[in-house]
Each structure stands twice: as structure tokens, then as C-alpha cells.
């Protein structure tokens, strides 16, 4: 069963979100999540649940949450035709529940919601070595568009002082204090 996510679902969904990022890292994702990323994600989702531009859907099997999808709507701006877009930020189904169509049902539900809002396009990012995920999206009619590349300038999270100073210099003082220092 697919349904909208609720506040009481966030603990379990946050656990699945952590599993998702471990899975993505095993498929080539370079960025690492912080030690408190699960708590930060849960707080962010809590604030987003009441916003109409955000979507959180959960998949249940035998009364347990075994998958989820999160996404949000955005405006592309005047540079592109079809200025209303959405991004599916996270889609994850627990390994033991894959193959039952839950990922497809989560995706179709999100597409329906976004379509009702007049969204013109939806994007998804896939870890470059995750061939199963790419095949999933392609089978649903999605088309590869962009390959993202990244160069890490520092692989150490131990020196948060320079990161905090950099965020403050750029005007992100509140964020620097909340997430790093």
C-alpha cells in the first residue's frame, strides 16, 4: 500500500533514508553523510510535511514501512521552456521488498501528484554505478540526461573550522552554526 507520509512515520523513514545513502555510496556516490545526517534529514522532513510543494510517500507491507519517496516542486526560471519542475530526491525500497512493484507504485503516485500541480518535468539523480536503478527508471519511461561529475577538494571532515568560516564568509552563518559547529 502506498500512502502519504505522516509525522509518526519519520523515525522509520529516516532509518530507510540512511540505508539509501549507504546503498548509493556502494554504487559510486562520493559525498559522505555526516554523523548527525539522519537527525538533520528528519528535522527537514518534519518542516516540509506541511508544505504543498513537497511530497513524502511511504510504501507499507504487512503494516511495516518498507519504502519511501521524497520529492519537491521547483521553478526552473525563464531560461527553460516549461518552468515548473519537480525532483524526486529519494526513492528507496528495502532489499527484501524489492521486485514487488513498490518502487514503481511510489513513483507513479508521485508523478500523479506532481502532474495535478501542473509540473512539466521531473528529474531524478542516479548513482553512476547503479545499473539496476538506471534500468528501473528507463523501464518506467525516464531518459538519461546529464552525467554529474565531482572533484573532492578535501576528503576529511575533521577540519570543520575552515568549512564553518567559509559558510560564514558566504553569508550562511546560521547554517554554519547549526550543521557544523
CA distance readout (Å), 136 to 19, 37, 85 = 19, 27, 21
Contact call for residues 15 and 38 (beta carbons, < 8 A): yes
- Per-residue pLDDT of 16-49, as tens digits, reads 999 999 998 888 888 888 889 899 999 999 999 9
| Beta-strand relationship, 64-75 and 54-61 | antiparallel
Spans in the chain with pLDDT lower than 70: 155-167, 172-181
Residue 90: is it exposed, middle or buried by C-beta count within 10 angstroms (0-12/13-18/19+)? Answer: buried
pLDDT of the residue at 153: 86
Domain 2-150 has CATH 3.40.630.30: yes
pLDDT of the residue at 84: 87
pLDDT of the residue at 109: 98
State the Cα–Cα distance between residues 52 and 71, nearest whole angstrom: 11
The structure's pTM equals: 0.82
Reported as type and span, the H/E element at residue 86 is strand 84-93
User: Domains of the chain: which residue ranges?
Assistant: 2-150, 153-181
Amino acid at each position: 500500500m502506498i500512502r502519504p507520509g505522516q509525522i509518526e512515520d519519520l523515525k522509520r523513514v529516516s532509518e530507510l533514508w540512511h540505508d539509501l545513502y549507504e546503498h548509493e555510496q556502494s554504487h559510486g556516490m562520493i559525498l559522505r553523510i555526516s554523523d548527525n545526517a539522519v537527525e538533520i534529514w528528519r528535522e527537514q522532513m518534519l518542516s516540509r510535511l506541511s508544505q504543498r510543494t513537497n511530497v513524502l510517500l511511504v510504501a507499507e507491507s504487512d503494516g511495516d514501512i518498507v519504502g519511501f519517496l521524497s520529492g519537491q516542486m521547483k521553478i526552473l526560471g525563464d531560461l527553460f521552456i516549461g518552468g515548473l519542475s519537480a525532483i524526486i530526491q529519494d526513492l528507496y525500497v528495502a532489499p527484501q521488498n524489492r521486485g514487488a512493484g513498490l518502487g514503481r507504485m511510489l513513483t507513479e503516485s508521485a508523478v500523479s501528484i506532481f502532474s495535478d500541480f501542473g509540473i512539466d518535468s521531473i528529474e531524478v539523480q542516479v548513482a553512476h554505478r547503479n545499473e539496476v536503478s538506471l534500468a528501473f527508471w528507463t523501464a518506467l519511461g525516464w531518459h538519461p540526461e546529464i552525467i554529474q561529475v565531482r572533484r573532492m577538494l578535501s576528503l576529511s571532515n575533521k577540519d570543520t573550522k575552515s568549512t564553518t568560516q567559509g559558510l560564514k564568509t558566504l553569508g550562511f552563518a546560521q547554517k554554519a552554526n547549526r550543521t557544523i559547529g
